[in-house]
Amino acid sequence: PVSVGMSMDIASIDTISEINMDYTATIFLRQRWTDERLCFDGNKSLSLDGRLVEMLWVPDTFIVDSKRSFLHDVTVENRLIRIYPNGTVLYAIRYGNT
Instruction: Give the CATH number, domain containing residue 70.
Output: 2.70.170.10
Q: Could you list the residue range(s) of the whole structural domain that residue 63 is in?
A: 5-97
- Cα separation of 22 and 74, whole Å? 24
* Cross-strand pairs, 91: 31, 81
Dihedral (CA of 4, 63, 91, 15) sign: negative
Instruction: Specify the pLDDT at position 84.
Output: 97
Entry pTM: 0.78
pLDDT in tens, 9-68: 988 888 888 888 888 888 888 999 999 999 999 989 999 887 788 888 988 877 776 676
Q: Of 7, 29, 6, 13, which is closest to residue 98 (Cα–Cα)? A: 13
Q: What is the pLDDT of residue 30?
A: 95
Q: How many CB atoms lie within 10 A of CB 80?
A: 15
Q: Is the pLDDT of residue 2 over 70?
A: yes
Contact 50, 77 (CB under 8 A): yes
> What is the tally of structural domains in the chain?
1
pLDDT band for position 80 (cuts 50, 70, 90): confident
Using pLDDT thresholds of 50, 70 and 90, give the confidence band for residue 70.
low
* Nearby residues of 64 by Cβ (< 8 Å), 6 or more positions away: none
What does the pLDDT average to over 68-93?
81
Average pLDDT over residues 86-97: 87
